[in-house]
Chains A and B, each alone.
Chain A
Amino acid sequence: MKKTINTNINGISFIFDDDAYAVLNTYLNAIKSHFKNKKGSDEIISDIESRIAELFQQMLNDKKQVLNMDDVKQVKDQMGQPSDFDQDTEEEPVYYAKPSGSSKRLYRDTNDRMIGGVCSGLGAYFNVDTVWIRLIFVIAILSGVSALAYIILWVIIPAARTVSERLEMRGDPVNISNIEKLIREELNEIRDKVDDLASQARDTFRKKKK
């Protein structure tokens, strides 16, 4: 007797022995992390999953209703390891960064600011969570140190405006792959914000309808 697990691959329900399920789950996660951050990753992953579902479907019949370790191994062999996937296709171009000396510079982070972005800039420079810097500033100002200190810093520290300045602020070398990474991160932030706004708008709309 064996425990089984019921799972859904690409909209089809399958029953696996629990050891077979564990192996399959690890395999699918390896595929996902392999394609993560690559162009068209969602589509590639869902195509691969639908192929895997199709192969499993072909293994089942009236007499056989549970997929076991051998079935999972067979599908894995047929699909191949994620490390083999790119072997026959175009490789991602690799950019080599010129090693530059002290590339970290103090900027104000205007994308993550409460007032002028001084604290988040300091946080990035010293590699400390911005919350602690803000806390120190608030305590300092409350305990009598003039808020002028903040304003002076605001004036003398330049804002990180361009992508390369933002990379210098974080101490990352300015090269193509880092620029791409930073832009992608910021685009994701924007997308999340837009999604939030959209769902809020939907909610308000629904409430009004009622």
Chain B
Amino acid sequence: MKVEKTNAQMRKGVIELCVLSVISDKEVYTSDILAAMKEAELIVVEGTVYPLLTRLKNDGLLKYKWEESTSGPPRKYYSLTEEGGSILEKLTKNWQSLNKSVNKLLKK
């Protein structure tokens, strides 16, 4: 079994939760989402986030609006939709209980 593959699969499961949580109840500029994800060492390359953001938007969890910028073209600011908010809540709960269960097992 390859460790990298399992690691990638573990990350895959939680990365959606993390993006939603970075945005939570603010309006966030795409590059700030990238910076937060990188700082938390959840992503290595930035390219992975774009397909995910577009998918979450198409699934109705995210919305965005364009805002003028002083230093270039308009920027996309993402925020959660109502559905996105309730899914974030559910995923967070689920993650906490999963985390608890796994830790319990690992301590044995």
State which of B20-28, B43-51, B83-91, B92-100 sits at the interface with chain A.
B43-51
Q: How far is the CA of A163 from the CA of B54 in the complex (A)?
A: 30
Contact of A89 with B46 at beta-carbon distance under 8 Å, contacts A51-B31, A54-B31 already known: no
State which of A42-50, A154-162, A202-210 sits at the interface with chain B.
A42-50
A57 interfacial contact with B, CB 8 Å? yes
State which of A80-88, A129-137, A142-150, A167-175 sits at the interface with chain B.
A80-88
Closest residue of chain A to B46 (Cβ to Cβ) is A79
Closest residue of chain B to A89 (Cβ to Cβ) is B52
Judge whether A35 and B51 touch: CB under 8 Å.
Answer: yes
Judge whether B71 and A57 touch: CB under 8 Å.
Answer: yes
* Interface size, B (range): 20 to 34
Question: Which residue among B12, B30, B46, B52 has the maximum number of chain A CB atoms within 10 Å of its CB?
Answer: B46
Q: How far is the CB of A48 from chain B (nearest CB, A)?
A: 5
Contact of A54 with B72 at beta-carbon distance under 8 Å, contacts A80-B45, A85-B50 already known: yes
CB interface residues, A 40-82, toward B, < 8 Å: 40, 43-44, 47-48, 50-51, 53-54, 57, 77-82
A197 interfacial contact with B, CB 8 Å? no
A128 interfacial contact with B, CB 8 Å? no
Q: How far is the CA of A197 from the CA of B15 in the complex (A)?
A: 44
B11 interfacial contact with A, CB 8 Å? yes
Judge whether A89 and B30 touch: CB under 8 Å.
Answer: no
Judge whether A79 and B12 touch: CB under 8 Å.
Answer: no
Judge whether A43 and B54 touch: CB under 8 Å.
Answer: yes
The prevalent SS among residues of B at the interface is helix
Judge whether B46 and A39 touch: CB under 8 Å.
Answer: no
Judge whether A85 and B71 touch: CB under 8 Å.
Answer: no
Question: Which residue among A50, A53, A57 has the maximum number of chain B CB atoms within 10 Å of its CB?
Answer: A50
Closest residue of chain B to A57 (Cβ to Cβ) is B72
Q: How far is the CA of A78 from the CA of B45 in the complex (A)?
A: 6
Q: How far is the CB of B88 from chain A (nearest CB, A)?
A: 17
Contacts of A51 in B (CB 8 A): 30-31, 34, 46, 50
Contact of A11 among B8, B15, B52, B73 (CB under 8 A): B73
Closest residue of chain B to A83 (Cβ to Cβ) is B47
Interface readout for B2-16 with A: 1 if CB under 8 Å, 0 if not? 000000100110010
Contacts of B76 in A (CB 8 A): 47, 50
Contact of A53 with B72 at beta-carbon distance under 8 Å, contacts A39-B58, A84-B45, A88-B15 already known: yes
- Contacts A40-B51, A47-B76, A88-B12 known; 4 new A-B pairs at CB < 8 A: A50-B73, A50-B76, A84-B44, A89-B55
Question: 4 closest pairs, A vs B, by CB?
Answer: A80-B45, A40-B54, A80-B47, A85-B47
- Please name 19 pairs of A and B residues whose Cβ atoms are closer than 8 Å in the assembled complex, sorted by A: A12-B72, A39-B55, A43-B54, A47-B53, A48-B50, A50-B76, A51-B30, A51-B31, A53-B72, A54-B72, A80-B45, A80-B48, A82-B47, A84-B47, A85-B47, A85-B48, A85-B51, A88-B12, A88-B52
